Amino acid sequence: MTISATALITLEQAKEYLKVNTATSLLVFAEYVGEGDGSDKTFSLDYTPIGGSLRLYVNNVLQVETTDYSISGANITFVTAPTSGHPITANYDKAADDDTFEAYADDELETLIEAATKIAEDFSDLAFIQRSITESHSGDGGKILRPYKRPISSITSIVQEVSEVLSDGDGSTTAFTLSLEPTSGSVVLYVDAVLQELTTDYSVSGSVITFVSAPSDGAKITLTYTHTILAISEYSTQLAKGKIYGASAWASETIYKIVYVAGFASTRAATQALIPDVVQAVLLILADLYENRGATIDSINIAGIGATSYKLPSRAEQILFRLKPLGGFA
């Protein structure tokens, strides 16, 4: 696993903070070396043992180096060939290959780094490293919309999800005007609950739907589409305050999909330089996760100890609370 570009801290920072040391050796336990046949004296281990660490067994009986066997590298030579049918097993330490031990530890730490970053962002309503975010908001009839994350650097797009019922067919009318202009390719159109095919059954030009054949008299015409809300003409922004102002109210019970860019800087290093306190908060959360593995548990009673808290570390909470903006509509 490799940490994502939006994880606030690096693996090296996590290890330094947690004082995680790299192992120099690994235990190989109960390796099956082979089976005696009464004549073969030479067998090979999977790895070269660290000197003095080998424990070699024939039919579960510990063998003695020099008396029962000799070893050169990973090769074992018995003084007397093991009896036919007797299994040969070995326990020993081997030198850790690059990343052999760390592969497990690194994956675990990288997962915890991602989790600690997300916990901190969710608690503070911030985005740390800049990225594109897509959100859906339900309008409340007011004129101000607040995306969930800050700081916001730009708005990419806002689209309104629209469900509309047109007037019934009359057997002759082919053109119908929608209340808003659909985003290209977003129309899903039904006549009497039968899905219509673009080009085959209808065409779209601006806000006008034109059928190839007029819907029959009394036919129910319904459709869904998205309408792209245009900057300046339909909304304005105060990005420093995380606000988007609608030229008219954000309609109640209407879904608006917003795509925007939020975050302090485009790189991890630049972001850390801008918000060093938040780096400390994420490291505190990481240490709590590493020690407790219980971020979703508020507390637990342990026999003989009492209640143990698994909440966000208080120091991390204090740091993040100072930066916590408001979210949603206001």
Closest CA to 243 of 152, 163, 167, 172: 152
In the prediction, which pLDDT does 303 show? 62
- Return d(Cα 285, Cα 315) in angstroms, integer: 9
In the prediction, which pLDDT does 168 show? 96
**Tokens of residue 9, six digits:** 């801290």
Shared domain check, 86 and 5: no
Shared domain check, 91 and 33: yes
In the prediction, which pLDDT does 17 show? 86
Residue-wise pLDDT tens digits, 281-309: 999 999 888 877 544 455 555 566 565 55
Query: Is residue 52 a contact partner of residue 97, using CB atoms and an 8 Å limit?
Result: no
Shared domain check, 139 and 238: yes
Q: What is the DSSP letter of 84?
A: T
Shared domain check, 293 and 197: no
Locus of tokens 């673009």: 198
Mean pLDDT of 247-262: 90
Q: What share of the chain is helix, strand, coil (3-state, %, to 5)?
A: 20, 35, 40
Q: Is it the case that residue 227 has pLDDT exceeding 50?
A: yes
Specify the range with the lowest mean pLDDT, choosing from 53-62, 105-114, 315-324: 315-324
Query: Structural domain tally of the chain?
Result: 3
In the prediction, which pLDDT does 104 show? 52
In the prediction, which pLDDT does 326 show? 44
Mean pLDDT of 15-20: 80
- Return d(Cα 179, Cα 170) in angstroms, integer: 20
Q: Examine the fold and report which residue of 262, 291, 306 is the final residue of a domain before the chain moves on.
A: 262
In the prediction, which pLDDT does 95 show? 84
In the prediction, which pLDDT does 165 show? 96
pTM for this prediction: 0.64
Which range marks the domain in which residue 45 is found? 25-95
Shared domain check, 224 and 277: no
Shared domain check, 121 and 10: yes
In the prediction, which pLDDT does 304 show? 60
Q: Examine the fold and report which residue of 242, 262, 282 is the final residue of a domain before the chain moves on.
A: 262
Locus of tokens 């070893």: 71
Q: Examine the fold and report which residue of 246, 262, 278 is the final residue of a domain before the chain moves on.
A: 262
Shared domain check, 39 and 108: no
Specify the range with the lowest mean pLDDT, choosing from 139-143, 171-175, 308-312: 308-312
Q: What is the mean pLDDT of the chain?
A: 87
Q: Does 167 or 103 have the greater pLDDT score?
A: 167
Shared domain check, 12 and 120: yes
Shared domain check, 212 and 142: yes
Residue-wise pLDDT tens digits, 171-216: 999 999 999 999 999 999 999 999 999 999 999 999 999 999 999 9
Phi-psi region of 171 (alpha: psi -120 to 50; beta: other; left: phi over 0): left
Shared domain check, 137 and 126: no
In the prediction, which pLDDT does 251 show? 87
Shared domain check, 323 and 210: no
| Sheet of 235-238, strand order | 235-238, 243-246, 144-146, 328-329
Shared domain check, 250 and 170: yes
- Return d(Cα 198, Cα 200) in angstroms, integer: 6
35 residue type, one letter:
E
